[in-house]
Structure 1
Amino acid sequence: MAHDLTTQLAVLGGGPGGYTAAFRAADLGLSVCLIEQGGRLGGVCLNVGCIPSKTLLHAASVIEEARDAAAFGVSFAPPRIDLETLRSHKARIVTQLTTGLDSLCAARKITRLTGHGAFVDPHTLLVSSQEGDVRVRFDHAIIATGSRPATLPGCPEDARIWDSTAALALTTVPKRLLVIGAGIIGLEMAQVYRALGAEITVVEPQNQIIPPADRDLVQPLFLKLKKTYRICTETRVAGMTATTNGIEVTLAGKTDAAELFDAVLVAVGRRPNTENFGREALGIDLDGRGFIPVDDRQRTAVPHVYAVGDVVGDPMLAHKAAHQGKVAAEVIAGHASVFAPRAIPSVAYTSPEIAWMGLSEKEAAQQGLAVDKGKFPWGASGRALSAGAGTGVSKILCDPDSGRLLGAGICGQNAGELIHEAVLALEMGATAEDIGLTVHAHPTLAETLAFAAEMVTGSITDVLPPKKPARTR
């Protein structure tokens, strides 16, 4: 028998967008019911995505740094890797963070339901679980159902063919690993398994790795990876067969081959979870790309129903979802809040890292926009060279007339930390001159962004200035 529960706000999905919305709404005085079908809050990001992958990437970076230290005259014995200990370490971090979310949820007196939620009408959700059904009646709802790994058509079902979740389980280290997709997820997992001893082949149908980023940003990473990986761009998987000895894969395109791998990671993107939660009962249609349309207040076509995160469109990033969750909660609580960022940063936690935000050169060319570009090579950075991180570049794009920052990208150590100065600068309407005149500590990696700005203004002294008149102050 179903029993009823009444709340001001029902949140469907307990990932970064959902739990952030629930927590913010509770802080603003709303009664909140948070519904998550998994046993733990945090969604894909915390449980089988961002956090466990960064834990394994840190282990991989330690292995790599120890190996590279030989160039400084410091040598270590080859690492002894205990997979069980590494898995346990990963699990402890996830548990610590999910337990923290449980405590925050309870402290805010949020009603939490575990089960599959589906709308039965515009003001009712039915939550089903082994313990029974709960009918949740609400004034407002937020859809935050996230996304799942995309699959390849015709891909056989076999335990040796992985998605990102299976790869993060770290059950074994294959001798030969094929990674299909040279995006962020594929290259991050390739780095983990290469450090653990696997031979890596990467296949990418487009003409470069990390296709959304500008080619000059990914080039330093590509030049490094091709020394230890086999990277096949402009190549697709034409066939895949599971055999006793491994997974037979036929490659077609720039590289034509038929090869045998011990495991295959399919990392060809993600798909929004827009089905199986009663969307039809709400009368909400999807857009041409399969996302739920929303306005800048995260409202769907049904005024009291909101949607946030991966289900509303790219970029499918946890930090975007969290900010949208706050906006939706604040709007529901009566605040004048909108989601209108000028830039959302993207980061590939490879070695070196790649981070970018705002307008890219690709987008500028597609839109026919003229830009002033400033690019500073890390080979001229004292801090980068002293840290063995001279392979990298910092780049900014500015409006030729006003000098205002339009976009930026960094390839290098800790790029994911460094990019946020550029994000803030763009949000605040800063110019290349503003960035260049901001005193940065020396020697730091952060000053490479200021040097890139000085390349635009012509005031650079650490390398020869570009051949154009320097801008006057």
Structure 2
Amino acid sequence: MNTLDTVIIGSGPGGYVAAIRASQLGQKVTIIEKNDIGGTCLNVGCVPSKALLHAGHAYQEIRHAETYGIQATGTLDFAKTQHWKNTQVVKKLSTGVSQLLKKNNVTIVMGEAKFTSKSTISVSKDGKTEDYSFKHAILAVGSRPIEIKAAPFGKRIVDSTGLLNIPTLPKSLCVIGAGYIGCELAEAFASFGVSVTLVEATSTILPGFNTKLSDLVKRNLQKLGVTLLTEALVVSSKETEDNVTLTYKKGEVESTIESNVVLVSVGRRPNTDRVNIQVSGIELDPKGFVKVNAKSQTTNPGIYAIGDITPGLALAHKASYEAKIVAEAIAGHASKIDYKAMPAVCYTTPEIATTGLSLDECLAKNIKAKATDFPLAANSRAIAASKTEGFVRIIHDEKSKLILGAQIAGMNASEIITTLTMAIETGLTLEDVALTIFPHPSVSEAIMDTMEVGLGYPIHM
């Protein structure tokens, strides 16, 4: 039996980052992957979905180019769109991650790993099995889409992976679940001209976001022609060769929807049930997530867990952050996890992003906080791009003016939220940021303007 120094199971944004950082810190690292290097995010999740969104937005820009005095007509070849996404985006990045692992002297083993004891694993591939013992293990096996009884996966009822790899555009699509994955893919396919219906069991789309943010997304989805059904619970489905008929209830009234394809996007479940975890000495919580301490160490001191299999938001950047902490902890550093400011983004139109505490969270913690807003309608860069819908909101301590949280809706929200994440992490106040010189014209100037509103000396309001 071969003995491994540090073994990492899973090569997603948690696994590969942990592998590289652990190797940089002097550990001999082996990473095990059963599918494709890069994990769900890179191959069938975050990255390809953003590629399709980008293509959809480009198609819409061409269709509405007359706004800028441009006469243009656009035709869509979806097969070429998929080929571009798969070869120029996904394959390029996956190959890049493999090269980074090799550059950092990480040994890559392809196969499915399962625990055989508290300090051993077996790796199976093509009917062959290899056994290994390890000194340290990092479990980074991610999550998978939840399947529902009312609409089990089939030929035309698919998860996000199936929809992202669909070879031809359907005429109609029904999306069950209006979280960020459901909303992003609903927008992408509606942008391509597909008739989309979005079904959500709660009273609003994007239930994890403030309604001031989600209402902007709702309005734009409706402009694209997306039909929104909230407080609607899918109770059954019938799949035929060409279509799927869904039956749903709103209150006591039952209705049906027919579409070519159904996407089930109601959340994800941790893959902790796929690694024979019961023999590893790792304890799970009632929802199947791994119990970890401040170093992301499990109840087995030799095993760490990161990413979607641990409690909290299922975000790629959360996994990457935890990966670095764990690699440092194994190397003997006094590193601990601190989620003081964890950005979350929905890449819809407009983009929406949050970081730090919301006003409600501050109130729950008995923090006397205040929210200050600035509209992008008063931002010159947004006006020049005809993208004025949105705002910047800063949550700050009433007395000290310490920045506690932020919410952004609008152009480039996914990019400029980082400025506010850094402000929270470094303990900056409204004045600190207001006195920072921002480039003009830029959307980021709205951050400075929001700070000035909070201080009572606004220039552009």
Q: Distance in 1 between matches of 2:153 and 2:6?
A: 40
CA shift, 1:457, in A, is 1.3
Q: Distance in 2 between matches of 1:215 and 1:370?
A: 22
Once the two structures are superposed, the pairs formed by residues 203-282 of structure 1 within 5 Å of their partners are: 203-227=199-223, 228-253=225-250, 256-282=254-280
AA partner of residue 462 (structure 1): H
Once the two structures are superposed, the pairs formed by residues 147-186 of structure 1 within 5 Å of their partners are: 147-186=143-182
AA partner of residue 389 (structure 1): K
Q: Distance in 2 between matches of 1:36 and 1:444?
A: 42
Report if the CA contact (8 A) 1:218-1:411 is conserved. no
Q: Distance in 1 between matches of 2:188 and 2:230?
A: 21
AA partner of residue 236 (structure 1): L
Once the two structures are superposed, the pairs formed by residues 279-358 of structure 1 within 5 Å of their partners are: 279-358=277-356
Question: Which residue, 53, 65, 86 being the options, matches 1:57?
Answer: 53
CA shift, 1:367, in A, is 4.7
Q: Deviations over 1:214-241 (max 9, x none)?
A: 1112222222222221111222212211
Q: Distance in 1 between matches of 2:388 and 2:259?
A: 34
Aligned to 1:470: none
AA partner of residue 152 (structure 1): I
CA shift, 1:369, in A, is 4.3
Q: Does structure 1 residue 98 correspond to structure 2 residue 94?
A: yes
Question: Which residue, 72, 80, 87 being the options, matches 2:75?
Answer: 80
Stretches of 4+ moved more than 6 A in 1? none
Report if the CA contact (8 A) 2:233-2:249 is conserved. yes
Question: Which residue, 380, 393, 396 being the options, matches 2:394?
Answer: 396
Report if the CA contact (8 A) 1:341-1:427 is conserved. no
Q: Distance in 2 between matches of 1:414 and 1:368?
A: 32
Question: Which residue, 433, 437, 440 being the options, matches 1:439?
Answer: 437
Report if the CA contact (8 A) 2:153-2:159 is conserved. no
Moved more, 259-268 or 432-441: 432-441
Q: Deviations over 1:111-162 (max 9, x none)?
A: 2211111111111111111162111111111111100011112324421111
Q: Does structure 1 residue 15 correspond to structure 2 residue 12?
A: yes
Report if the CA contact (8 A) 1:214-1:361 is conserved. no
Q: Distance in 2 between matches of 1:154 and 1:181?
A: 13
Q: Distance in 2 between matches of 1:367 and 1:260?
A: 46
Q: Deviations over 1:398-421 (max 9, x none)?
A: 111211111101111111001000
Aligned residue pairs, count: 458
TM-aligned CA distance change 1:390 to 1:256, over 3 Å: farther
AA partner of residue 68 (structure 1): H
CA shift, 1:30, in A, is 1.1
Report if the CA contact (8 A) 2:150-2:235 is conserved. no
Report if the CA contact (8 A) 1:83-1:170 is conserved. no
Q: Distance in 1 between matches of 2:447 and 2:71?
A: 33
Q: Deviations over 1:28-72 (max 9, x none)?
A: 11111111111x210000110111111111111111222232223
Aligned to 1:33: 30
Report if the CA contact (8 A) 2:172-2:259 is conserved. yes
AA partner of residue 179 (structure 1): V
AA partner of residue 277 (structure 1): V
Unmatched tracts of structure 1, length 5 or more: 464-473
AA partner of residue 230 (structure 1): T
Q: Distance in 2 between matches of 1:68 and 1:136?
A: 58
Aligned to 1:192: 188
Aligned partner of residue 333 in structure 2, secondary structure = coil
Report if the CA contact (8 A) 1:354-1:410 is conserved. yes
CA shift, 1:386, in A, is 1.2
Report if the CA contact (8 A) 1:156-1:241 is conserved. no
Question: Which residue, 430, 446, 451 being the options, matches 2:449?
Answer: 451
Aligned to 1:468: none
CA shift, 1:96, in A, is 1.3
Moved more, 298-307 or 130-139: 130-139
CA shift, 1:98, in A, is 1.3
Report if the CA contact (8 A) 2:79-2:168 is conserved. no
TM-score normalized with structure 1 length: 0.93
TM-aligned CA distance change 1:415 to 1:297, over 3 Å: same
Aligned to 2:120: 124
AA partner of residue 23 (structure 1): I
Please tell me the root mean square deviation across aligned C-alpha atoms, in Å: 1.6
TM-score normalized with structure 2 length: 0.96
Aligned to 2:411: 413
Unmatched tracts of structure 2, length 5 or more: none
